[in-house]
Structure 1
Amino acid sequence: MTSAPTLYDTIGGAAVLRELVDRFYDLMQLEGEFAGIHAMHPVPNDSSRDKLFMFLSGWMGGPDLYIERYGHPRLRARHLPYAIGTSERDQWLRAMAWAMEDVGIEESLRLRLMESFFQTADWMRNKAD
């Protein structure tokens, strides 16, 4: 009996996931529409890139790199120091949608991922608009 492929496998594993995360952060740095969320990240943002890569690896069914290194993600708690409202949520989602398109993730998979990303990003909001 074979198991269904994970999202991690479906997108192309570590290489494509790394490309996606790097493109996401590159867009944040290059595009003014993402200035709000870019300002929340350290410069250089290598540690943020690595943490998102590690988190998404496990979240997509690949190796649990983030948990192995840092323990439970506690996403909301770790983001509480940052004022996250609708604008920041939408910037994050737009940057991720753009990055997924740029790295060639198939449209139906992008839509599936965006639904999940929206739920998490919306849950991260911690300031009134």
Structure 2
Amino acid sequence: MQTSTQATAQPRTAYDLVGGRSVVRDFVDRFYDLMAADPAYAELRALHAPDLAPMRASLTDFLSAWLGGPRDWFDERPGVCMMSAHRGVAMSEAAARQWAEAMTRAVTERVPDKGLADKLAEALSSMALGMAGVEAA
């Protein structure tokens, strides 16, 4: 017999497992900090506006929703996906690999559960490489 707590308990999402919005914001901030400061990501940085604040907020909202958290990003952009949001951006293989590497560094540094961090980094890297038409290694 289920107790009322068991019956109403929601399954934990990836968003919950990573630690919620504060952890998502932390690894997004680390990603943009790396991109802005490390010359290895110069081509990727050049694709972005000088002010990264709007992108930090947008990527935090997107990843929160993508991981199963609040769906504000999708609610505010009906019918938009990551591919359509980047339509018109010429993403080279080098820039996609820079994105994947910087995000992998950020996620593995900031997500406490290393197994989850590795899976998350792999999925995000595949997404970035897919946007440039490159298959993950």
Q: TM-score range by the shorter chain?
A: 0.7 to 0.9
1:54 aligns with 2:61: yes
Q: Which moved more, 1:42-51 or 1:110-119?
A: 110-119
Aligned residue pairs: how many?
127
- When normalised by structure 1's length, the TM-score is 0.88
| Aligned residue type for 2:112 | I
Aligned match for 2:84, one of 69, 77, 90 = 77
- The corresponding residue for 1:8 is 15
Residue pairs, 1:1-129, within 5 angstroms: 1=7, 2-125=9-132
Q: Which moved more, 1:117-126 or 1:17-26?
A: 117-126
Structure 1 contact 25–49 (Cα < 8 Å) conserved: yes
User: Per-residue CA shift, 1:51-108, capped at 9, x if unaligned?
Assistant: 1011001100000121122233322122132221221111111111111122243221
Q: Which moved more, 1:48-57 or 1:102-111?
A: 102-111
- When normalised by structure 2's length, the TM-score is 0.83
Structure 1 contact 16–103 (Cα < 8 Å) conserved: yes
Instruction: Name segments (4+ residues, structure 1) moved above 4 Å.
Output: none
Q: Distance in 1 between matches of 2:99 and 2:112?
A: 17
In our comparison, the structure showing a higher alpha carbon Rg is 2
| Aligned residue type for 2:122 | E
Q: Which moved more, 1:96-105 or 1:84-93?
A: 96-105
